[in-house]
């Protein structure tokens, strides 16, 4: 009886130790910011409503942010123009990026991992294949991802009227930061 109990205890401990780490991580905090640096005006806005998942076993990810959630413009009128005239947030309510993580990341080991993320960026209803540099940091059971990249308005069919040509940059700088925790 004692041998059987000892064997069962060792078997249970072995199974628990061999169980894979969490595979799905979801955002607990995330933000996206952008800046447009044109000759006559600098426009900056930020959303803290970024949501997303990383599947560590497949090295895949999916992130999205509601266009209407961006704040911090130079004026409320500027925010209104952003949503109604340029991003058409009623027609195209979300910006999405879905794809794969390319790089060696040991999700069970603390460290900093430079990676490339490859996938489909959907802005203003136009999907473009993108490869973007990012940094993944693992601390305990938390994953942090940071990236800075550029988005061309022309690539996503965002029109700039001639009258505001000097107030809007043709290429926008975007920054993303997200903290992800194991999904329960």
The CATH number of 27-182, from 3.40.50.2030, 2.60.120.260, 3.40.140.10, 2.40.128.110, is: 2.40.128.110
The string of DSSP letters for the chain reads -HHHHHHHHHHHHHHHHHSPPP-EEEEEEEEEEEEEE-SS-EEEEEES--EEEEETTTTEEEEEEEGGG-B--SSHHHHHHIIIIIS-TTTS-EEEEEEEEES---TTS-EEEEEEEEEEEEETTEEEEEEEEEEEEEETTEEEEEEEEEEETGGGT----GGGTTTS-SEEEEEEEEEEEE--
Instruction: State pLDDT tens for residues 33-61.
Output: 999 999 999 999 999 999 999 999 999 99
Residue 165: the pLDDT is: 83
pTM (whole model) above 0.75? yes
Residue 1: the pLDDT is: 54
Can you tell me the mean pLDDT for 81-97? 96
Residue 12: the pLDDT is: 40
Q: Per mean pLDDT, which range of 8-17, 94-103, 106-115, 139-148 is the poorest?
A: 8-17
Mean of pLDDT over the chain: 89
Residue 10: the pLDDT is: 39
């Amino acid at each position: 009886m004692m041998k059987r109990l000892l064997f069962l205890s060792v078997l249970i401990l072995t199974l628990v130790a061999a169980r894979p780490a969490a595979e799905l991580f979801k955002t607990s905090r995330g933000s996206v910011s952008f800046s447009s640096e044109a000759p006559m005006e600098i426009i900056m806005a930020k959303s803290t409503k970024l949501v997303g998942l990383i599947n560590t076993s497949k090295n895949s990810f999916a992130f999205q942010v509601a266009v209407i959630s961006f704040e911090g413009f130079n004026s409320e009128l500027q925010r209104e123009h952003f949503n109604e005239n340029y991003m058409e947030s009623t027609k195209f309510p979300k910006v999405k990026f879905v794809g794969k993580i390319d790089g060696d990341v040991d999700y069970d080991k603390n460290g900093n991992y430079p990676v490339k993320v490859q996938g489909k960026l959907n802005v203003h209803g136009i999907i473009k294949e993108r490869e973007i540099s990012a940094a993944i940091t693992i601390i305990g059971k938390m994953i942090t991802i940071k990236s800075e990249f550029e988005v061309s308005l022309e690539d996503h069919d965002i029109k700039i009227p001639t009258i505001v040509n000097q107030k809007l940059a043709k290429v926008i700088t975007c920054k993303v930061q997200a903290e992800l925790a194991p999904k329960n």
